[in-house]
């Protein structure tokens, strides 16, 4: 297993190009199940989660061609032999449940392993199932699997108790072939949801309101194959923004949607960083001392939960007290115990973290616990005194494309080595 080794203390200087968004590619790959001809996605990053979904699509009978160097992925779900997602694949990636909607829409039946809890919380899929049931599907749960069947899905008004991202996407994917109009209320407004709606509309779907809390989907009889370019990864962009601010760096972040990074920019400016729009992207310049800021995670356009851990790393070396409230997931502070091993002063009380900035962190041997926690430990390592080793980086490889190469090019002293322990 690999680990990342960092010698802290270098400022990050230069330019970095952000990859395509993992959370946008996954629903687009699921959308390819809606048609029986070749679909093509571009700006696709090389990530473990995307590999997992490829394995699942192949398992179901899809053909896949790829040109990783060009960021191209072609998928043809000519015949879906097994409309099923087995436990082994869903347990490694919850987002596998995104195949549920398109499978029911196209094959009238789908059997998908129920995702269990994960490191950051219980993360149920009850809202996905409630929506499908309202649209006329029959739901059966047995032996850890949910089987959803429907001769015809029909349009319905569906209110989501919480604005679930993959739930909104799953229901949009299911509703494209339904009879009549489906209305999703309190829908997720994330840019990845908008990317999926744009992609489905380019296939001939009739979706309005994506990006607001009410999405209307009028069912259509047929769709064309998908050809779409994946939006840039706002979490990767945000991670580099924090990395630059935290290391007193000066980094131009290219290929990013500035509008999608607004809340992160606001918080970094509050913390004393300069964040400037340039024709090519966003330039982030860090200044010391870093000012402590309070923030709460929220669904888009609020501060993203996927950036909480990275921002907490920065707050751990800021000049005062920062209060961080995690409202999206109930157990997303797994990185705290590792940051404390580096000398951070953090107290957790239920969903609140109180971070008292310290003068400096010291390098340590650390264990990554989930995807974004891994990134936060690498950021901490960049400013720590001495050597930091982050193991279990398979979490990192789920969602960050070549992060060590990108950081190295910005001047970090970082390498990936085989972890024989």
Instruction: State the nearest-atom distance from the C-beta of 415 to ligand UD1, in Å.
Output: 27
What is residue 239's three-state secondary structure?
helix
Instruction: State the nearest-atom distance from the C-beta of 123 to ligand UD1, in Å.
Output: 5
Which is nearer to ligand UD1, 236 or 404 (by Cβ)?
Answer: 236
Among 165, 271, 275, 377, contact with ligand UD1 (rule: CB under 6 A): 165
Give dist(CA 222, CA 217) in Å, integer: 14
Q: Which residues, numbered 276-305, are part of the site for ligand UD1 (CB under 6 A)? A: 305
From the list 83-91, 126-134, 271-279, 374-382, the region that binds ligand UD1 by CB under 6 A is: 126-134
Instruction: Tell which residue, 382, 389, 399, 398, has the closest CA to residue 421.
Output: 389
Instruction: State the nearest-atom distance from the C-beta of 109 to ligand UD1, in Å.
Output: 20
Told to check if 127 binds ligand UD1 by CB under 6 A, we report: yes
Q: How would you classify the pairing of strands 206-208 and 227-229?
A: unpaired
From the list 6-14, 163-171, 382-390, 401-409, the region that binds ligand UD1 by CB under 6 A is: 163-171
What is residue 229's three-state secondary structure?
strand
From the list 133-141, 143-151, 165-173, 177-185, the region that binds ligand UD1 by CB under 6 A is: 165-173
Total residues at the site for ligand UD1 (CB under 6 A)?
A: 23
Let me know: does 179 contact 219? Beta carbons within 8 Å: yes
Instruction: State the nearest-atom distance from the C-beta of 129 to ligand UD1, in Å.
Output: 7
CB-side neighbour CA atoms (13 Å) of 55:
15
Let me know: does 57 contact 32? Beta carbons within 8 Å: yes
Give dist(CA 202, CA 414) in Å, integer: 42
Give dist(CA 158, CA 133) in Å, integer: 10
Catalytic residue among 32, 39, 107, 118: 118
Please report, for residues 71, 72, 209, 397, the alpha-carbon distance to residue 68 in angstroms, rounded to integers and kept in the order given. 5, 6, 33, 15
Among 306, 326, 397, 401, contact with ligand UD1 (rule: CB under 6 A): 306
Q: Check if 118 is active-site.
A: yes
The tokens for 395 are 């979490």
Told to check if 270 binds ligand UD1 by CB under 6 A, we report: no
Among 138, 162, 208, 352, contact with ligand UD1 (rule: CB under 6 A): 162
Q: Which residues share a beta bridge with 277? A: 282
Told to check if 23 binds ligand UD1 by CB under 6 A, we report: yes
Instruction: State the nearest-atom distance from the C-beta of 289 to ligand UD1, in Å.
Output: 30
Catalogue the active-site residues.
Answer: 118
């Amino acid at each position: 297993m690999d680990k990342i080794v960092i010698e802290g203390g270098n400022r990050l200087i230069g330019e970095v190009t952000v990859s395509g968004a993992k959370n946008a590619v996954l629903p687009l790959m699921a959308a390819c199940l809606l048609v029986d001809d070749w679909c093509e996605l571009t700006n696709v990053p090389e990530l473990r989660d995307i590999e997992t979904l490829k394995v699942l699509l192949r398992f179901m009978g899809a053909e896949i061609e790829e040109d990783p160097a060009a960021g191209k992925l072609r998928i043809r779900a000519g015949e879906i032999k097994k409309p099923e997602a087995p436990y082994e694949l869903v347990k490694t990636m919850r987002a596998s449940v995104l195949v549920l909607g398109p499978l029911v829409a196209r094959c009238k039946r789908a059997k998908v392993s129920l995702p269990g809890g994960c490191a950051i919380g219980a993360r149920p899929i009850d809202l996905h199932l409630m929506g499908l049931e309202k649209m006329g599907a029959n739901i059966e749960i047995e032996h850890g699997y949910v089987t959803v069947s429907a001769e015809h899905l029909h349009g319905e008004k569906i209110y989501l108790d919480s604005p679930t991202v993959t739930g909104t996407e799953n229901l949009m994917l299911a509703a494209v072939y339904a009879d009549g109009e489906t209305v999703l209320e309190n829908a997720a407004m994330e840019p990845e949801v908008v990317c999926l709606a744009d992609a489905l509309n380019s296939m001939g779907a009739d979706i309005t309101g994506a990006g607001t809390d009410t999405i209307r989907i009028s069912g259509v009889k047929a769709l064309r194959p998908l050809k779409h370019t994946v939006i840039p990864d706002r979490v990767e962009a945000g991670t580099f923004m924090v990395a630059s601010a935290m290391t007193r760096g000066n980094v131009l972040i290219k290929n990013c949607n500035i509008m999608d990074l607004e809340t992160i920019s606001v918080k970094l400016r509050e913390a004393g960083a300069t964040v400037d729009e340039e024709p090519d992207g966003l330039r982030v310049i860090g200044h010391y001392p870093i000012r402590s800021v309070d923030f709460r995670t929220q669904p888009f356009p609020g501060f993203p939960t996927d950036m909480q851990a990275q921002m907490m790393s920065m707050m751990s070396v800021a000049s005062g007290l920062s209060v961080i409230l995690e409202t999206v997931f109930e157990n997303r502070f797994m990185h705290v115990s590792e940051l404390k091993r580096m000398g951070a002063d953090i107290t957790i009380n239920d969903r609140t973290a109180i971070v008292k900035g310290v003068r400096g962190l010291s390098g340590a041997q650390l264990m990554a616990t989930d995807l974004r926690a891994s990134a936060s430990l690498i950021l901490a390592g960049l400013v720590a005194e001495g050597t930091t080793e982050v193991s279990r980086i398979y979490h990192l490889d789920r969602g960050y494309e070549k992060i060590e190469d990108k950081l190295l090019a910005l001047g970090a002293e970082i390498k990936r080595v085989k972890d024989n322990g």
